[in-house]
A = this chain, B = another copy of it.
Amino acid sequence: MMIRYPNGKPYNKEIEQVQKPKKQQAIKDNNFSNRGKTLEDDLNETNTYYLQRQIATIHKKPVPIQIVKVEYPSRSAAVIREAYFRTPSTTDYNGVWNGYYLDFEAKETESKTSFPLKNIHAHQVEHMKNVIQQKGIAFFIIRFSSLDRYFITPFSIVENAWQQMVRGGRKSIPLQQFEAGAIEMKASYQPRIDYLQAVQQFISEEIERD
């Protein structure tokens, strides 16, 4: 009988042990809740969950690449032989949920005390301003990975900190600001990070203010 991983790939114990001793070790050291997964893995799983249950249609955008050289071997697929990573001009994730346009960026930090703003690009801040101006919903999903804490963070918190940094202020957002102004989510099994709950809360607060 062939044993398969949840993703359908066959499990081959012998190859696994020979090729990936370090990774296996690393997985053992992690605690149960994050299992060595990145925030991107968590969000991809969450978005697949939302899509399959017709809850929302949200995708990660592909990484932008500047292609310089492509080879076309006969009888096989085109091969890109020289290309470079480009700086994204927008955020990583966008989509639609019940008529709302959602747009967000996901970032992790190893820091236990603050989120460094160097993780964010000026043009992403600019893009999110444009989104808000068009009545879209813009936010950040920030994970303090050493603490395994997730904060769904309204754009306004990052924007304020960004403006202060530009005027010579501090270059990071203290954890306390997330605790006070963002919505903390616990990672769970399915969906991993149920961020639409937090978005619903943003919308309700917005309606109350109006």
Query: A56 — which chain B residues lie within 8 A by C-beta?
Result: 134
Cβ of A126 to closest chain B Cβ, rounded Å = 10
Q: Known interface pairs A57-B130, A130-B54, A134-B57. Does A80 touch B65 (Cβ–Cβ under 8 Å)?
A: yes
Most buried by B among A64, A99, A101: A101
CB distance from A132 to the nearest CB of B (A): 9
Compute how far the CA of A54 lies from the CA of B133 in the bound complex, rounded to whole angstroms: 8
In the complex, whether A100 has a CB less than 8 A from a CB of chain B is yes
Pick the residue among B83, B96, B134, B135 that contacts A83 (CB under 8 A). B83
Closest Cβ of chain B: how far from A136's Cβ, in Å? 4
* A107 contacts across to B, CB distance below 8 A: none
| A interface residue count range (under 10 / 10 to 19 / 20 to 34 / 35 or more) | 35 or more
Q: How many copies of the shown chain assemble into the complex?
A: 2
Whole-angstrom distance from the CB of A183 to the nearest CB of chain B?
22
Minimum Cβ distance to chain B for residue A40 (Å):
14
Indicate if A89 sits at the interface (CB-CB under 8 A). yes
Q: Mark contacts of A74-105 with chain B using CB atoms, 8 A cut-off: 1 yes-contact digit, 0 otherwise.
A: 00011111111100111000111111110100
Q: Is the CB of A78 within 8 A of B85?
A: yes
Residue in B54, B59, B63, B130 whose CB lies within 8 Å of A89: B59
Q: Contacting A62 at CB < 8 Å: which of B62, B84, B100, B101?
A: B62
Distance in Å: Cβ of A208 to nearest Cβ of chain B: 18
Q: Which of B82, B85, B99 contacts A135 (CB 8 A)?
A: B99
A-B contact pairs, 25 of them (CB 8 A): A54-B130, A57-B127, A57-B134, A62-B62, A63-B67, A65-B80, A65-B83, A77-B85, A78-B84, A78-B85, A80-B82, A80-B83, A81-B81, A81-B82, A83-B83, A94-B94, A94-B95, A96-B103, A96-B134, A96-B135, A97-B134, A98-B135, A99-B135, A100-B101, A101-B101
